[in-house]
A and B are shown apart, each in its own frame.
Chain A
Amino acid sequence: MTNPAVSFAHYYFQYSSGRVPALKDICLDIVPGSFTVLLGPSGAGKTTLCKSMTGILPYYQGGSYAGDVRVLGESTKGRKVSDLAMRIGFMMEDYESQLVSLTAGEEVAFALVNHGFPPGETEDRVRRALAEVGLPGRENYQLDELSGGQRQRLALASLLAVRPEVIVLDEPVSAMDPDGAESLYKLIHEIHEEHGTTFVVVEHRVEFVLPYVTDLVAVKDGRIAVAGPCGDVVPALYADPALRPLLPDLWQIRCGLEARTGQSFRLWRSVAGAVDELRERGMGPLAVRKEGNP
């Protein structure tokens, strides 16, 4: 049986300055090769969950915990964050704080050099990683010569160069315009398809990841509210008035239509897909209105 990419077993975490646990009784398996999206209101514990996956919590920033977190079958207990980073990469919401070098090439090579990769392999990995994120030949660019979007791609290249099996992205497009966000997610999807990397993404604007997401995890008040494949989770989220706003408009419309018409629809990945299915069923805009409001 294949190990989960990341596995939480009755995991609790409390910040040093906190009075109550930020995460409570987390039992969760992230399916290998999945594109999992973490949803939840602000302060629900999504970032804490991400940091716990990567060992930053509690082993780097400190705190109190109970239970266990396993990455690819191995417990994170007692592991150095830098060692875990070879298997699970993490791009923080504030990705700028992860950039520590002067040039793009040095930045991507940083983890490789620190883990003793030979110079030839380091150079090769840096070149390929930069090419993968659409920054070919930018090795000698100063970081301030790159735009915000390019620096975000550079942070992603730094993860890719290590070739971790799991990549965790905490709101990777929070500071991007819609075009930039779509472009970055398209790139992430290509990497997901090509390498089979497991992606765990915290994203408020789920519409950007609609075409790619395979699994959803909803976090509420430090607990897992619901988790599983999209097809199972979306109806559960829709049924909970507190969690319904987390769903993108398209899926809310779909669930609303299912509730009103009694029909079952495919999980729409785009507006075009929704329109196509509605047309196939002879439900043009007028028909939908009629069926929805008899």
Chain B
Amino acid sequence: MEREWNEASGTSLSPDRIPPLTKVEANQQGYRWVAITAMLYAIGIILHTVSPNVGGVTINWTIAMYCIVINLTKPPLTRAIGMGFIAGITLIPSSKSAFPLGNLASEICGATTCCLLLKALAMARLGDWKLAPLVTGFCSTFVSGGVFTFILRLILNLPLGVWLKVMLPVVAVVGVLNAVVTFGLYGPVKKLFFAREGGRTA
């Protein structure tokens, strides 16, 4: 049964010499990220609806969810922008702010921040850094909240000092909460979706 190769013909390889290998990307990548994104966004919308607002501070579950998705699936920038756009759309119906459409811009900026940060970490050979969800969760929320409140400031014609001294500190507090949530949920979600592969292969 074992094929016997003719050494004289040169078709047989030395047992220890490994020929150049051709790399093949996983074909399953095209679909699973969609399911993961949809599921986590749905969870995010439900939690966003039921979470109480305490003194203007509430966890932004939607941002936490797309941060987890982006950390898990490491999408290209265009896909991350699309994820932010969809996240923004999901926030508009339930938004009680003066300008709900501002969510579109803010979430696109948040998702873009998360994606670019991860790419920067990967370039710095920190792609598997365990604190990446914590850092990206904070930065994305801060950027998203900063953009959203800045748009509000423009629409409501508020002084710059109000934005800097009142709004941004609240955004930073929400950012810290979101960072903790993103970091806390990342591990279990990764285990749930990627247990079979023993790693990230969305």
Contacts and interface: CB of A to CB of B under 8 A. Distances in A.
B3 A21 contact: no
Contacts of A223: 15
A63 to B, nearest CB: 6
**B interface: dominant SS:** loop
Given A21-B21, A24-B18, A226 B3 contact: no
B196 interface: yes
B2 A12 contact: no
A58 B24 contact: yes
Interface residues of B, number: 25
Interface residues of A, number: 38
Contact of B2 (A14, A58, A61, A227): A227
B15 A229 contact: no
Nearest to A223: B15
Nearest to A233: B1
A217 B1 contact: yes
Interface string B173-202: 000000000000000000000001111010
B98 interface: no
B166 interface: no
Contacts of B197: 61
A59 B28 CA distance: 9
B24 A64 contact: yes
Interface string B16-58: 0011111111111000000000000000000000000000000
Contacts of B19: 10, 12, 66-67
A75 B85 CA distance: 43
A67 B12 CA distance: 11
Pick from B21, B23, B196 the residue with the most CB of A within 10 Å.
Answer: B21
Contacts of B2: 27-29, 224, 226-228
When A and B form their complex, which 10 residue pairs have the shortest distance between CB atoms, in order from nearest?
A: A62-B26, A64-B21, A58-B24, A27-B3, A227-B2, A228-B1, A227-B1, A66-B19, A64-B23, A60-B27
Given A17-B198, A28-B3, A62-B201, 11 more contacts: A9-B3, A10-B5, A16-B201, A17-B199, A36-B1, A60-B27, A61-B197, A66-B18, A66-B19, A67-B19, A229-B1
